[in-house]
A and B are shown apart, each in its own frame.
Chain A
Amino acid sequence: MSHLETDPQVEAGAFNRLDHAPGDEPEEAGHWVRNANLGLGFSIVLTAAAFFLAGSHLIYGPVIPVALVVLAIAQMGVHLVFFLHITTGPDNTNNVLALAFGILVVFLIVAGSIWIMDHLTHNMMPMDQMMQMQP
C-alpha cells in the first residue's frame, strides 16, 4: 500500500480512500432503504426461481442442480452487495480480502472433504459391510 503515500488526492485532503466496516457506510438513510428494497426484490426473484425450478420439468433434469447452485450463489452475491454493502471500492479492501480468504477456506474444506471421502468410498468397503464381515 505504500504507493498510496504519494497519492496526490489523499494529500490534498480529497478523501477518496476511506475505510468502512462491512455493512456500514456513511450514507443517508434513503440510500439504505433503496439498497434494502433492491436486495429484497432481487432475492425474491431468485428465490422464487429456485423453488420453481426445483419442482418443474422446464429444463433438462440433470442441469437443475447446477441451475440451483448458480441461483444460490447469485443470491448470496445480492446479499453481500445490497445488505452487507461489500463493494470493490478501495474503502472495502480489507473486508473483501477477508471475505476472499473465508471463501477460499470454505471451498478447501468442503471440496477437499467431498473429494477425499468420495475417493475413499470408491476404494474401501463401506463401513457397515465391513462390520458384517467381522465374526
Chain B
Amino acid sequence: MTDTGFPAGGLPASAEAIRRVREDPYRLGHRAHGPEEPVAGTGHGATGPASKRILVGYGFWIFLLSDIVIFSCFFAAFAVQHGATAGGPTMGQIVDLRRVAFETAALLLSSYTCMLSFAATNAKNLFWTEAFLLLTGLLGLVFVILELMEFIDLAGRGITPQVSGMLTAFFGLVGLHGLHVTLGGMWLATMMAQVFIKGFRHEIVHRLICFNLFWHALDIVWIGIFTIVYLMGSGA
C-alpha cells in the first residue's frame, strides 16, 4: 500500500476492512517463528508493529485520557468549591435550564452527525463526509454561541468568576469545555479543507478518526457537566 491513497475508483469499505484485518498486529508475537517465515523489513511491519491507523487511533485515545484527567481536576475543584459562594449568588440562581437543554441537544446532535460523517468516510463518500462535517461544525457553533450568550448574560448581571470561589470553579469548568469545543471547531474546519483538497489519503482518514474521538469525548464531558453542574447544582 503506497502513500498516494487509494487506487482509482477506491476500494469498497469491506475490502479495505479485510486489508486492515490482515495487518492485524495481534498476530505480532503469535506467529510461528520458523526460518521459513519471512519477516517484512519495510518499516510498515505487516508482521511486527501495528498499522499506522491503529497507532494513530490508540495514541490519540491515550491523549484523550490525559485530557479527561484535566477535566477531572476542574470537576474536583467545582465539587470542593460549589458551596463557596462568598456572599454571591448560588448555583440555583444562575442556571437557566432551558438554555442548557438547547446546548445539550446541539452537542448531542453534533456527535451524531460527526459519526455519520465518519460512516461516510468509511464508505469513501466525499460529499456526505463533508456535508456531515459541516453540520457538525454548525451545531458546535450553535453550542458555543449559546454558551457565550449565557456567559455574557451572567456578566451583565455582575456574575463573573471574580465574585466567588464557586463562580470561579463554574466558569473555569464550563469555559474549559467551551474552549475545547472552539478548538475542535478550528480543527474541524482544517479537516474539511484537507478532505476537500486531498481526498481520503491515509493520513487524512487517520486524522478524521482522531477528530471523531475528540468530538465524542467532548460530548461525554458535557454529560458530566450538565448533570453535575447544571442539574444537580440547580436542584440543590
Contacts and interface: CB of A to CB of B under 8 A. Distances in A.
A and B touch in the complex (CB under 8 A): yes
Interface string B99-121: 00100100011011001101110
Contact of B69 (A20, A80, A91, A105): A105
B207 interface: no
Interface in A1-49: 1, 4-5, 7, 10-11, 15, 17-24, 26-29, 32-33, 35-36, 39-40, 43-44, 47
Contacts of B131: none
Nearest to B21: A15
B155 interface: no
A23 B111 contact: no
B57 A22 contact: yes
B50 to A, nearest CB: 6
Interface stretch (B60-68, B171-179, B182-190, B193-201): B60-68
Contact of B213 (A15, A22, A101): A22
| Size bracket of the B interface | 35 or more
B26 interface: yes
B234 A54 contact: yes
A5 B30 contact: yes
Interface size class of A (residues with CB under 8 A): 35 or more
Interface stretch (B38-46, B138-146, B220-228): B220-228
Contacts of A51: 97, 101, 104, 231
Contacts of A32: 115-116, 118-119, 122
B65 A102 contact: yes
A128 B164 CA distance: 12
B32 interface: yes
A26 B76 CA distance: 38
Given A23-B216, A117-B80, A4 B123 contact: no
A113 B220 CA distance: 22
A24 B53 contact: yes
A83 B224 contact: no
25 contacts: A5-B29, A7-B30, A15-B24, A17-B26, A17-B30, A20-B57, A21-B61, A21-B209, A23-B209, A32-B122, A51-B104, A51-B231, A65-B235, A72-B224, A76-B220, A76-B224, A83-B216, A83-B219, A84-B216, A95-B58, A95-B61, A98-B61, A106-B68, A106-B72, A110-B75
Given A21-B209, A51-B231, 6 more contacts: A7-B30, A10-B30, A44-B108, A51-B101, A69-B227, A71-B227
Interface of A: 1, 4-5, 7, 10-11, 15, 17-24, 26-29, 32-33, 35-36, 39-40, 43-44, 47, 50-51, 54-55, 64-65, 68-69, 71-72, 75-76, 79-80, 83-84, 90-91, 94-95, 98-99, 101-102, 105-106, 109-110, 113-114, 117, 128
